[in-house]
Amino acid sequence: MLTYTKKIMPLWLLSAGLLFTRPVLAQNQPQTQQVTKTTWTLPECIDYALKNNLQVKQRQLDARLTDINLKGARANMLPSLNGSTNYGFNFGRSIDPTENTFTTQQIQSANFSVSSSVPLFNGFQIQNTIKQNRLNKEAAETDITTAQNNLILDVVAAYLQIIYSDALLENAKVQLSSSQQQAERTQKLFRAGSVAGSNVLEIQSQVATDELAIINAQNQKDIAELRLMQLLDLKKVTDFEVVKPDIKDPGQEIINFDPEEVYGIAQQNMPEVRSAELRVNSALKGIEISRGAYFPRLALGGNLNTQYSSARSLYLGSNTFVQRALGFSDAAGTQPLFVYVPNQVAQKYPFLDQLTDNQGKSLFLSLNIPILNGLQTRNNVARARLNHESAVLNTEIVRNQLRQNIQQAYADALAAQKKFAATSRQLEALEQTFKNAEIRFNNGVLNPTEFNVARNNFIRAQTDLIQARYDYTFKLKVLDFYQGKSLSL
């Protein structure tokens, strides 16, 4: 099986150069479409996976949510504007809301009000919240790149695993064909009386072993294809095949790679490090937001209201006068005192006129001074400081993991280089041994058991070389990625 190092970011460069060149798609991708094609190239696999992978889509939704949070934080700087209204129907003894007098008639009344307020000062909490949400949005967008790179790495590994399994399958078929030819030759020799019957049985046993090897190789390839189809989120595809590129044997030049020097460059460019650093800055803003609760709050507000009552009448003057008693003109109270006033005629007070005439306006400043709130502000500040310490610690963990990944990639590449070189030499030696054994076996000098031992050693060396070739090729591309080199084959 192929092995690889997880968390190598950003890997779109690695995948693009591993077989073909293709850029990473934009973050917002269309929905999954019906798939009819059966033959896939690596860029097509990567593009389709980035469009349809659920983990990437989840990161994209998280980024959209942080964008909404940022817009909401910015909107908190705008004035608030709210309206309210109510309608009432009173009967029996009640109070006329427009004149505040008792009445026994049925009343229909309505109130309308509009209020607005704008924060003038709140300990800079709004400004710091905007900055924090801006950092969170940037970190979430960086997480998308990390998720895409993780996915691309898995797709590349699964793609190479299919190619590797297919190479093993082809090699097993060649070995089976060779064994069948040997079985036919041995059967003829047995009929001619040149070899014993045990030789035939041993060769037939080898044929059965090679047939089993084909089945195992086919199963391994099917599992690798299934793994890739799962990464692509393909529901049902028959006859799934990948395009096999011409991967040549890697060279044996000395690997020029300084892990510490490359680490210094990589920690400035890797998205997971950038995301962790952004969250440290976000946690710092969280401390400032919590501290802002210690400061007074000053706000400017205003209100506009009006009302209507069906019990209220509109009185209009006329040219006639009526007599009204004001009291008595003598101390004994026997001589009433009258005055003449203009006669007023009551009319229905129109709804819109009442709304205009009953308007009330107000403007105010409000100051809220925190004195004691159950130590909530103090606890919030302490909690924010712990969140910051946790973010700093997480950043160090991410950097250490990156350093370990680079060191591991370097060590893996060196080991793969040595293994490929040793396996190549081993194959050359075992191939010559097998050819000699085959000649001796055909001449009847070598028995089937010794021949099968030489043959199996040669087959095993071929399998080891196939694995070493793909493993070494992948590890070299990882090193090229960390060094910023071109990754094309």
pLDDT for the residue 142: 93
Q: Does a structural domain hold residue 6?
A: no
Are 446 and 319 within one domain?
Answer: no
Which pairs with CB-CB distance under 8 Å and at least 24 residues apart come from 254-262? 255/410, 255/413, 255/414, 255/417, 255/476, 255/479, 257/410, 257/413, 257/479, 257/482, 257/483, 259/403, 259/406, 259/407, 259/410, 262/406, 262/482, 262/483
pLDDT digits (tens, 9 = 90+) for 251-291: 777 777 788 888 888 888 888 999 999 999 999 999 999 99
pLDDT at 15 over 70: no
Mean pLDDT of 437-443: 78
pLDDT digits (tens, 9 = 90+) for 381-420: 999 999 999 999 999 999 999 899 889 888 988 888 888 8
Are 284 and 167 within one domain?
Answer: yes
Rounded distance between C-alpha atoms, residue 215 and residue 220, angstroms: 9
209 membership: H or E segment, kind and range: helix 197-232
Handedness of CA 446, 449, 455, 460 (dihedral sign): negative
Strands 39-40 vs 241-242: parallel, antiparallel or unpaired: parallel
Mean pLDDT of 228-251: 80
Q: Does a structural domain hold residue 366?
A: no
Q: Does a structural domain hold residue 354?
A: no
Are 224 and 331 within one domain?
Answer: no
What's 394's domain CATH number?
A: 1.20.1600.10
Contact 159, 47 (CB under 8 A): no
Are 186 and 254 within one domain?
Answer: yes
pLDDT at 191 over 80: no
pLDDT for the residue 340: 60
- The DSSP code for 375 is T
pLDDT for the residue 106: 77
Rounded distance between C-alpha atoms, residue 228 and residue 32, angstroms: 16
pLDDT for the residue 118: 93
pLDDT for the residue 331: 67
pLDDT for the residue 83: 93
Contact 337, 282 (CB under 8 A): no
Return the minimum-mean-pLDDT range out of 44-53, 189-198, 211-220, 281-290. 189-198
Are 344 and 386 within one domain?
Answer: no
Out of 128-137, 233-242, 314-323, 328-337, the most confident range is 128-137
pLDDT for the residue 343: 56
Mean pLDDT of 17-31: 40
Are 387 and 426 within one domain?
Answer: yes
Are 342 and 426 within one domain?
Answer: no
- Greater confidence (307 vs 452) lies with 307
pLDDT for the residue 137: 95
Q: Does a structural domain hold residue 364?
A: no
Residue 73 belongs to what domain range?
12-307+371-483
- Greater confidence (64 vs 484) lies with 64
Are 283 and 328 within one domain?
Answer: no
Are 321 and 302 within one domain?
Answer: no
Are 77 and 222 within one domain?
Answer: yes
pLDDT at 99 over 50: yes
CB-based contacts of 64: which residues, under 8 Å, 6+ apart? Answer: none
- With H, G, I as helix, E, B as strand and everything else as coil, classify residue 121: strand
pLDDT at 7 over 50: no
Are 334 and 466 within one domain?
Answer: no
Q: Does a structural domain hold residue 59?
A: yes
Task: Quote the number of domains for the chain.
Answer: 2
pLDDT digits (tens, 9 = 90+) for 29-79: 444 445 566 788 888 888 899 888 888 999 999 999 999 999 999 999 999
pLDDT for the residue 487: 47
Q: Does a structural domain hold residue 359?
A: no
pLDDT at 1 over 50: no
- Greater confidence (156 vs 338) lies with 156
Rounded distance between C-alpha atoms, residue 282 and residue 298, angstroms: 26
- Greater confidence (312 vs 35) lies with 312
Provide, rounded to the nearest whole percent, the portion of the chain with pLDDT above 70. 82
Provide, rounded to the nearest whole percent, the portion of the chain with pLDDT above 90. 27
Q: Does a structural domain hold residue 293?
A: yes
pLDDT for the residue 326: 65
pLDDT digits (tens, 9 = 90+) for 326-376: 666 666 667 777 666 565 556 788 888 888 888 989 999 999 999 888 889
Structure tokens at 439: 């000649």
Are 104 and 195 within one domain?
Answer: yes
Q: Does a structural domain hold residue 246?
A: yes
Mean pLDDT of 460-464: 82
pLDDT digits (tens, 9 = 90+) for 374-386: 889 999 999 999 9
- The DSSP code for 240 is -
